[in-house]
Amino acid sequence: DAGITQSPRHKVTETGTPVTLRCHQTENHRYMYWYRQDPGHGLRLIHYSYGVKDTDKGEVSDGYSVSRSKTEDFLLTLESATSSQTSVYFCAIRDRVGVNTEAFFGQGTRLTVV
């Protein structure tokens, strides 16, 4: 199994509070991604990173920011959590670009905003 660890695995937070989710990899893969998964929407890309300090937005980036100060860690921050951000968040990694490369996913973080 690819070495991807998401933390925390579960979190309940209050509306308006900041929340940071962490994705840690031991594979030294260059590309890292954050997705959210909601019923009826499948997985949607929030942000991704193509190197240290290099990040870009996905299709549902509003309300989220990311940082990648080292290869192994990719942080997702909800600046001020809202109930609409209640979701399951998945981190993924990939070694290189190209249509033949597979992605590896973490176990997910279940976030509930009350």
Partner 1 sequence: DAKTTQPNSMESNEEEPVHLPCNHSTISGTDYIHWYRQLPSQGPEYVIHGLTSNVNNRMASLAIAEDRKSSTLILHRATLRDAAVYYCILRIMGDSARQLTFGSGTQLTVLP
Residues 92 to 111 in contact with partner 1, rule: CB under 8 A: 92, 94, 97, 99-100, 102-108
Choice from 3, 22, 38, 43 touching partner 1 (CB under 8 A): 43
Which of 21, 108, 20, 31 lies closest to 71 in space, CA to CA? 31
Is there binding between residue 31 and partner 1 (CB under 8 A)? yes
Tokens of 47: 């942000």
Give backbone dihedrals phi and psi of 48, rounded to 5 degrees, phi first: -145, 165
State the Cα–Cα distance between residues 110 and 10, nearest whole angstrom: 5
Total number of residues that touch partner 1 (CB under 8 A): 25
Is there binding between residue 40 and partner 1 (CB under 8 A)? yes
Which range binds partner 1 by CB under 8 A, 13-21, 67-75, 79-87, 89-97?
89-97
Choice from 42, 53, 83, 114 touching partner 1 (CB under 8 A): 42
91 by Cβ neighbours in 10 Å (0-12 / 13-18 / 19+) ranks as: buried
State the Cα–Cα distance between residues 100 and 114, nearest whole angstrom: 41
Is there binding between residue 3 and partner 1 (CB under 8 A)? no
Chain positions contacting partner 1, by CB under 8 A: 31, 33, 35, 40, 42-45, 48, 50, 56, 58, 90, 92, 94, 97, 99-100, 102-108
